[in-house]
Amino acid sequence: MDAKGILGLLVGHEVIDQIVKGVGTVISEEGAKALKANIFGIGSTDEVLTGDAFAIAVIELGVSRTEAIKVAKVLSEYHLSEKNKLTNIIGHNEQETIQKIPTEKSGKTVIVETKTVTNMRGARLILLLSKMEEDEIKIFLKGIDATTTATDRLKESFKFIVEGLDKLDKSGWKTKAETFRDAQKAKYNAQKQGRI
């Protein structure tokens, strides 16, 4: 029986699966972030795209500078790991948008398509947040799981170990195991002393 199997008998296979899943999530999230970072470990792609989203929200979507600063202030109050996650969400990626602009050409109206690549999703999220009060922004971000970090998930996974050990401690299994252990120890000591 391997270590996972033995540990599974003690604390339950559900607990082990949660731990493995939690550790896997942390490794994959942190690994992806590390791959995006530059040689000095400081990636700036998400931050640039987040800044772009704020610019689009103000210039194109009608968010006032005061509203943009309010949203930025709320984001700045989070711990570093939470801020990183929020920056990853707002600055996730760019999307291609196509604008159809009617243009006069040789006396005729022709539709000219212009393709641009911008972070419109992030800008729309900032637009939404800008219409909320600061407390509402925090509630919304928590509600959509935007502030839960990989570390939080890992802590949650390890919580299952503590709960599993507590349940084991309060169950009859512990007493049975201790009784078996004591009987085996007594038997070993008796053999050692030549009584059996």
DSSP designation for 124: H
Candidates 91, 92, 78, 88; CA nearest to 142 is 78
Q: Which value, to the nearest 10 degrees, does the dihedral of the CA atoms of residues 48, 95, 63, 75 take?
A: -50
Candidates 116, 123, 113, 112; CA nearest to 97 is 116
Domain assignments of the chain as residue spans, ordered by start: 1-40+149-196, 44-146
- Cα–Cα distance between 115 and 132 in angstroms, integer? 32
pLDDT, tens digit, 9 for 90 and up, residues 78-91:
988 888 889 888 98
pTM to 2 decimal places: 0.53
Rounded to an integer, the average pLDDT of 59-77 is 95
